[in-house]
Amino acid sequence: MTGVWRTLLKRIADRPTSISALSSVLAIVSGLLVGLVIMLVVNPSDALPGFVTILFGAFNAGMTSLGNTLYFGVPIVLTGLSVAFAFRTGLFNIGATGQLTMGAFTAVYIGVNWGFLGPLHWVVALLGGMLAGAVWGSIPGFLKAFRNVHEVVASIMLNYVAMYMNTMLIKQLIYNQQYARALSPQPSALIPTWFLDDIFVGSSINAGIFIAIALTVVLHIILNYTVFGYELKSVGFNKDAAKYAGMNEKRNVVLSMTISGALSGAAGAIMFLVAGRHLEPVNQLLQEGFTGIAIALLGLSAPIGVFLAGIFYGNLEQGGYYLQLFDFMPEIIDIIIAVIIYFSALSLFLQKFVAGYIRRRTGEEVELQEGSEIK
């Protein structure tokens, strides 16, 4: 047994990325354990069954909960991809929530008003949302590239601009006086469910999951197989070397923020182009944008990693929903997620810990891959 374990560790030691992945897993395990301890303190008798409920959130009610897991995971996957993509170019897009808000408003506006589009209605609404997010993301991009304004400052401030603009525009353009919220998009604008509601009976799942998968694959290809991705990563890893190599660093910064914004815009469109969910003219930042930061860290800024992390988040959300069957507050989920985030922010430390453990067990030195942390 120990022999197998050692061979496995040796194999891991040869690949820096697997060390990073292991540290993410470690972050998740630590988060869950802290959650378990809290549950044991709060309500010892129900702690274990409650914990199992969280862990297998997606499987508590068969296909319904599985479908809902994917449904909840999609926007988080998209905002996670948004933040991760900017990370890879060395930019910290903390403005995902603003871009998401702009995307959501634009998508809903098109959804309410442009019924003449027929079967293309939802596609145009989604693209409109992405475009709005892209424009919103490009603003800090331009400011960074041409005026050297730090993207964190610019995008945080734009979050509030987006929030208030959203309130104002809803009231002026698509207000439903009776319910004090935005009008419902026309049915033709809703993200279609296709055959999914037949498989995941009783869940809210829609085609957003396909969009999330498609965008994950596209980003994975861009980052790993294309010249464009090579340039973006060069700028992210070492701006000076990118400049030396003659890359157009300014253009890359703008493009990266634009694409990042488009992804958040897509998240906003997909969140609100569903029946029964409405944009509200309340001055509140949408949390999904911030969760995306955590998911990007947990997924090590790699598209596939982010996708898995986002779906795992959906799983926990679902677990939190069913946790109410026991005598627990669903907030326990937020605590667990917060701890996971905390540990994934410490990913470099955890990587060193894992590397040290492997060295002690196998005598093999490990090269750490750097650059996935925030600069």
Partner 1 sequence: MEHVIEMEHITKEFPGIKANDDVEFRLRPQEIHALLGENGAGKSTLMSVLFGLYEPDEGRIRVRGTDVKIRNPSDANRLGIGMVHQHFKLVHNFTVAENIVLGYEDTRWGLLRFDSAVERIESLSRQYKLRVDPYAKIEDISVGQQQRVEILKMLYRDADILIFDEPTASLTPQEIDELMKILRRLAEEGKSIVLITHKLREIQQVADRCTILRKGKCVGTVDVASTTSDELAEKMVGRKVVFEVEKTPARPAETVLRVENLSVHNPLTESDVVKNVSFEVCRGQILCVAGIEGNGQSELIHGIVGLKPASGGRVTVNGVEVTDYSIRERSLSGISHVPEDRQRHGLVLDYTLENNLILNQYFEPKFQSRGFFRFDEVRRHAVRLIDEYDVRTSHGPLSLARSMSGGNQQKAILGREIDRSSDLLIAVQPTRGLDVGAIEFIHKQIIAERDKGKAVLLVSLELDEVMTLSDHIVVMFEGENVGEFDPAVVTEHELGLYMSGSKRKGAA
Interface residues with partner 1 (CB under 8 A)?
16, 225-228, 230-231, 233-234, 237-238, 240-248, 365-367, 369-371
The CB-of-139 to partner 1 minimum distance in angstroms stands at 25
Of 201 and 245, the one with the shorter C-beta distance to partner 1 is: 245
Q: Which is nearer to partner 1, 157 or 247 (CB)?
A: 247
Relative to beta strand 175-176, strand 181-182 is: antiparallel
Least distance from partner 1 to the Cβ atom of residue 143, Å = 19
Cα separation, 82 vs 306, whole angstroms: 10
CB of 141 to partner 1, least distance (A): 20
SS3 per residue for 10-38: HHHHCCHHHHHHHHHHHHHHHHHHHHHHH
Residue type for position 243? K
The residue whose two tokens read 């506006």 is 109
CA distance 191 to 226: 31
- Which residue in the block uniquely carries the two structure tokens 């300014």? 250
C-alpha distances in angstroms, 88 versus 102, 219, 298, 300, 374?
23, 11, 14, 10, 10
Please report where in the chains the tokens 């929030």 appear, as a residue: 163
Residue-level length of the chain: 375
Query: At CA 26, angle to CA 22 and CA 28, rounded to 5?
Result: 120
Instruction: Between 180 and 368, name the residue whose CB sits nearer to partner 1.
Output: 368
Nearer to partner 1, 160 or 225 (CB): 225
Q: How far apart (Å, rounded) are the C-alpha atoms in residues 150 and 155?
A: 9
Report the residue number, 277 or 359, with the smaller CB distance to partner 1: 359
To partner 1, the closest distance from the beta carbon of 230 in angstroms equals: 6
Amino acid identity, residue 183? L
Closer to partner 1 by CB, 106 or 234: give it: 234
User: How many Å is the Cα radius of gyration of the chain?
Assistant: 22
The distance of closest approach from Cβ of residue 244 to partner 1 in the complex, given in angstroms and rounded to an integer, is 4
**Cβ distance to partner 1 smaller for residue 16 or 192:** 16
CB of 146 to partner 1, least distance (A): 15
Closest distance between partner 1 and the C-beta of residue 248, in Å?
8
Q: Which two tokens stand for residue 336?
A: 């667990």
CB of 240 to partner 1, least distance (A): 5
Phi-psi region of 276 (alpha: psi -120 to 50; beta: other; left: phi over 0): left
- Other Cβ atoms less than 10 A from the Cβ of 2: the count is 7
CB nearer to partner 1: pick between 94 and 355: 355
Contact 205, 67 (CB under 8 A): yes
Instruction: Return the amino acid letter for 317.
Output: E
- Label residue 335 exposed, middle or buried (CB < 10 Å: 0-12, 13-18, 19+): middle
User: Which CB, 232 or 271, lies closer to partner 1?
Assistant: 232
Q: Please, are residues 186 and 111 in contact by the beta-carbon 8 Å criterion?
A: yes
Smallest gap from Cβ 352 to partner 1, in A, equals 13
Cα–Cα distance, 267 to 50 (Å, whole number)? 30
Query: Minimum CB separation from partner 1 for residue 359, in Å?
Result: 10
Measured from the CB atom, the residue of 110 and 242 that comes closer to partner 1 is: 242
